[in-house]
Structure 1
């Protein structure tokens, strides 16, 4: 008997509705990622955009032994010394309400994502990637547009050239002659042994290939992961979509990836409005990225509802507890406990001003006078929302609402009072935490939707551990690799160098 797929879909649709209406959480802690996690999903079978990312559930603490080399992460040991060293990375943050339109194949994101020097981390949030109709809000999730956005982002990022200014991880550049193999120091050998043990490789394999090993001193242009980015995590809730990308050579330092969703739409909890938050630890610094779409409307009092959305999101966002496997570093279970926090999205705050006054100021490009009427700034200054958060200076025009495929605001020629929208800075990026410096805050000029995209570039300080510190012996490795004492390693290195010198004579 032949099964009708559409019939199965219809029969399952009421179950989805019931779950959403009764606020029964389902797969809320799952997200997409380029990384394979032990016991949580099947290993990737191809590198196509269709199969490139997988579902991950819960905390990312372990790895499949057979996962691709550049997607593996180390098993952390609980006795790594806490050493206060820092590194500055560049983080690109972008938000865009795309008006319920699926992207077409010709949409080029390079203009939006381009910087003079590519970033180390890209945090991209979208709103209304699907139309906010009853079918999408109450029914099964349509993840087709999200897959298209991921494909376009990957294409744009992977075509980005890596500049040598981003070579902070390779500060000890080897000055060897082109045809001369670099020598390996004792500290390099220890670092190599640590990495190989973490990757599940036997020590004899390490020494057998030692002569061809190029240590950390290689330049960025020689890196096998040159110019590539990996999807750390992505999550969709109805029309809200958040994805985090990291430079591929940073992926092994990312741990404790978790997600949390809060619905603030229909009846106060459905997902047409609300937030997606992604928590992660990079080296020893915790990050939280919060992508939101808050209550819309420009009636008096609507700003109070938006304030309430923010407070409820902060209150209800909870990340799954770490199981503390393999000595993973501390991971916060709420937004405010993170070291660095980015809040981005369509916050929907409008201008507390009459239409005529706003239009006149807009025609004169008097943005500073308009910003004095910005609801978000008014509410924040009064201490009613985002107390202690920072936002950069705004030197760009309001980002909403534009007529389709034009540079004209909807208010300029609209004859219908119901369709009029006072121009406003709905799309915003805020941050909280020390060690963050905003380098720019600007908007893009794509006419794809009735919102203009907004982006910001940050310099963020990340705490890293010292590579020169020794780790204590730990017997927990996939292949039961025995650690070799320092004296034995010196002896092995000495014998190896003697062997290499002897072989080079013949």
Structure 2
């Protein structure tokens, strides 16, 4: 009997992951120094809750204060005091190839080599191997904990600056680094995709409306081996959305259209649930003031390797980028229309031999499948008051990808707004109450429906084995 119970539980776990159905344990994400409070995770997750810190000021008062707008038909009175703050924001992405970090790995040179930032947005892909066990089985959070420890160590370990060997500009930018301390706002894992957000400690009390949403786009369009994690938050009166993605792989003709579809579906399916509809409470990615989209987007080069090899030897990035699928698709208006990406002055970030500066395609001795070098790892952005200061790649040989990072200057609205909405006309987009019997019944119905799909799991497992990276 116990064996049957364990088998049934294991089967439901597999199907729940196949359908990308969230449970209470899935909805948990990490945050520093906080007591957790149950809040709705995403409007699309009818039976799940997210856990968010409640020590941030006014975290649970997001329904009445500091709102930019209101629901349709809502009357309001507003008194505005204009005030702006300029902050620096670091965004970084790295596909780590399914390898767990070792203790000797130092992230400080990647995260803080140029200048300290006020906000850190750090995305990883393949923090676990994308095998059937990790995709269908229980989530392995061990590697995520190791990456978090390395990030904390890199951000909160103060080194003495050597003024004799440091440029005046770098000394100026880092002069206040010793007094900085960073707190983890939140981190979330979906199979191999991992997103972590950190802010300067003194900014924590001005963060509100933290929400997250996950969209699986892997095998059969549902599994989490590919897809996105999106985090929404408000700093003062400016709304931020950070999207970490791992899109469809492959370099065959037409694979770029699958990646375009992934982007479209992520934009459509990502929803953030709030008590009130308001400009300060965006419910989709594009409704935010500031948006960062980063990750292994997997767009390749349209050219064959012979042509690419010659251009690589010349470091002719401009000519190579004319073959870049993302640039081609974006110019044609088929993906990321209206989004920005900085100029690329660095070599393709994929695919390298492990612990080597050689691309896989550059050596005949490699047992790995030949891959045309490409700029798979990208950072795109959208929003007013957001300016890119630099866009570079790191040189760590830990993975077959090189990490990519960017530093932004962002203008944050500190306006003091006092709005008094009419309670009778406020539109609620979701309930903050615990699960009701009706919700429980809906969950049971979903479980029954999911169990009917068990026959498809064998097919899913076979697809995972054959799926390219």
User: Smaller-chain TM-score range?
Assistant: 0.7 to 0.9
Q: Which residue of 1 aligns with 2:14?
A: 17
CA contact (8 A) 2:65 2:418 kept: no
Change (3 A) 1:79 1:399: closer
Q: Which residue of 2 aligns with 1:246?
A: 199
| SS state at 1:336 partner | helix
Aligned-pair distance for 1:161? 6.0
1:112 paired residue among 110, 113, 118: 110
Aligned-pair distance for 1:73? 6.0
| SS state at 1:142 partner | coil
Q: Which residue of 2 aligns with 1:305?
A: 258
CA deviations on 1:155-183 (whole Å, 9 max, x unpaired) are 0000146999689xxxxxxxxxxxxxxxx
CA contact (8 A) 1:31 1:259 kept: no
2:334 paired residue among 376, 379, 384: 384
1:276 paired residue among 229, 234, 241: 229
Listed as ranges, the matches of 1:146-161 within 5 Å are 146-160=144-158
1:402 paired residue among 352, 367, 372: 352
| SS state at 2:179 partner | coil
Most deviating of 232-241 and 313-322:
313-322
Aligned-pair distance for 1:320? 2.0
Most deviating of 115-124 and 24-33:
24-33
Q: Which residue of 1 aligns with 2:372?
A: 422
CA contact (8 A) 1:285 1:339 kept: yes
2:143 paired residue among 142, 145, 153: 145
| SS state at 2:395 partner | coil
Change (3 A) 1:59 1:393: same
1-side partners of 2:179 and 2:59: how far apart? 20
Quick check: 1:319 aligned with 2:272? yes
Aligned-pair distance for 1:117? 2.9
Q: Which residue of 1 aligns with 2:294?
A: 344
Listed as ranges, the matches of 1:180-199 within 5 Å are none
Q: Which residue of 1 aligns with 2:457?
A: none
1-side partners of 2:5 and 2:202: how far apart? 44
Change (3 A) 1:7 1:413: farther
Aligned-pair distance for 1:19? 1.2
CA deviations on 1:460-499 (whole Å, 9 max, x unpaired) are 0100035xx9999xxxxxxxxxxxxxxxxxxxxxxxxxxx
CA contact (8 A) 2:93 2:403 kept: yes
| SS state at 2:230 partner | strand
2:393 paired residue among 425, 434, 443: 443
Q: Which residue of 2 aligns with 1:431?
A: 381
CA contact (8 A) 2:20 2:215 kept: no
CA contact (8 A) 2:57 2:206 kept: no
1:98 paired residue among 76, 96, 99: 96
CA contact (8 A) 2:80 2:418 kept: no
From the CA coordinates, give the structure whose radius of gyration is larger.
1
Change (3 A) 1:150 1:79: closer
Change (3 A) 1:152 1:417: closer
CA RMSD of aligned residues (A): 3.1
Aligned-pair distance for 1:26? 2.2
1:374 paired residue among 310, 317, 324: 324
CA deviations on 1:15-67 (whole Å, 9 max, x unpaired) are 210212344332454321115246449xxxxxxxxxxxxxx95374844xxxx
2-side partners of 1:11 and 1:392: how far apart? 50
1:233 paired residue among 183, 186, 207: 186
1-side partners of 2:264 and 2:104: how far apart? 39
2:216 paired residue among 263, 269, 272: 263
User: Of the two structures, which has the highest relative contact order with CA contacts closer than 8 Å and spacing of 6 or more?
Assistant: 2
The gaps in structure 1 that reach 5 residues or longer are: 42-55, 64-70, 168-218, 473-506
2-side partners of 1:79 and 1:274: how far apart? 34
| SS state at 2:285 partner | coil
Q: Which residue of 2 aligns with 1:122?
A: 120
1-side partners of 2:172 and 2:49: how far apart? 36
TM-score by length of 1: 0.71
CA contact (8 A) 2:267 2:285 kept: yes
Quick check: 1:58 aligned with 2:50? yes
Change (3 A) 1:39 1:240: closer
TM-score by length of 2: 0.76
CA contact (8 A) 1:228 1:248 kept: yes
Q: Which residue of 2 aligns with 1:190?
A: none
Change (3 A) 1:143 1:59: closer
CA deviations on 1:382-432 (whole Å, 9 max, x unpaired) are 000000000000000000000010000000113579710000000000001
| SS state at 2:223 partner | coil
2-side partners of 1:272 and 1:369: how far apart? 33
1-side partners of 2:18 and 2:115: how far apart? 46
1-side partners of 2:143 and 2:4: how far apart? 23
Q: Which residue of 2 aligns with 1:173?
A: none
Aligned residues: 388
CA deviations on 1:302-361 (whole Å, 9 max, x unpaired) are 00000000000000001122369xxx9821111000000000000000000111111111
